[in-house]
Amino acid sequence: MAATLTFLGIESSCDDTAAAIVRDTPGEPPRILAETVIGQGALHADFGGVVPEIAARAHAERLDLCAEAVLARAGLGVRDLDGVAVTAGPGLIGGVLAGVMFAKGLAAAAGLPLVGVNHLAGHALTPRLTDGVAFPYLVLIASGGHCQFVLVEGADRFHRLGGTIDDAPGEAFDKVARHLGLGAGGGPAVEAEARAGDPARFDLPRPLLDRPGCDLSFSGLKTAVLRATETLGPIGPQDRADLCAGFQAAVADVLGAKARAALALAGGVAVFAAAGGVAANGAVRAALGAAAASAGVDFVVPPVRLCTDNGAMIAWAGIERFREGARDGMDLAARPRWPLDDRQAGMLGAGRKGPKA
């Protein structure tokens, strides 16, 4: 019989330093024993976005604090762990490197197995942690840096059906929020403003809905919002609310329509799941749920705290990979680019370092 596994997960791919301890006992639902996330919003607030050098330094200063905190909350010592899982990419290289080096040191000092995890795999496998979803299933990973429809066939077997050809939706939310003076935390800020807005006031595009398949584009939609502001003069509170409502509705419409296309391509799956920070948006969740209902499949979306970057998804993905025999040594590399489905060409400009996602 398979053994119970207790893993520490470390996540530092962008601007959240996170750690969690997850325990998986065969025959029982997995349990998150402890988790913590330290955000960096205040550190980057004056710069209009995440500054990689500042983020990397903050991760280096906080990783040990996060690990100590979750061990204390779980009532465990390092020797009670069965392994350490860490995000090894993709992400901002300084932050990823800080996490990988910390995990290597901890694993070496305690004599624990080390498992490197693709950040996107952490998101893709979260529905198995929260809802026990069986392979295969379709998942939409939608965040600040990524947007992909992926058929999840196993802990290391992913088939990308489509994705964004330019901006990710979270990036578009952030840029729209910044342009409208809403500050950092674009997704929640736009959603809050949209509650008082009229989504029909501005005629915003729904990119790529005239094309088959489930590829997406958000750059033109973002630009349309910026151009709409140029016709208004000084932007008042209602203008801002209406623009946010219209933009959010357009994103939800596009994701819902492309979800229906992805479900048709996936063929025969019983579950459609959503993960990533954009999945925390209520309008997006509703559109995706409607797409699942129209296809007659179950819709699964993790709790909001597990949609955004977190250590639990990394610990769980590490457990899943470990059970399939994955082990990494002290030569584990931090990777700024790491496609989830490496059998296909990258959709976003690959450059010299290879496909981004």
Sheet harboring 5-11: ordered strands across?
31-39, 16-24, 5-11, 83-89, 114-118
State yes or no: pLDDT of 350 exceeds 70: no
The per-residue pLDDT for 27 is 95
Q: Which of 33-47, 231-245, 301-315 has the lowest mean pLDDT?
A: 33-47
Confidence of residue 2 (pLDDT cuts 50, 70, 90): confident
The domains of the chain are located at 5-127+309-323, 134-305
Confidence of residue 343 (pLDDT cuts 50, 70, 90): confident
Count CA atoms within 13 Å of residue 188 on its CB side. 8
The per-residue pLDDT for 184 is 66
Matching CATH number, 5-127+309-323, of 3.40.50.1970, 2.40.100.10, 1.10.940.10, 3.30.420.40: 3.30.420.40
User: Tokens 């600040």 belong to which residue?
Assistant: 144
Q: How far apart are the C-alpha atoms of 178 and 243, rounded to whole Å? A: 13
pLDDT tens digit string along 139-187? 999 988 889 999 999 999 999 999 999 999 999 999 999 999 997 678 8
Q: In CATH, what number does 134-305 get?
A: 3.30.420.40
Do 5-127+309-323 and 134-305 share a fold?
Answer: yes
pLDDT tens digit string along 62-95? 999 999 999 999 999 999 999 999 999 999 999 9
Average pLDDT of the segment spanning 237-260: 98
The per-residue pLDDT for 107 is 98
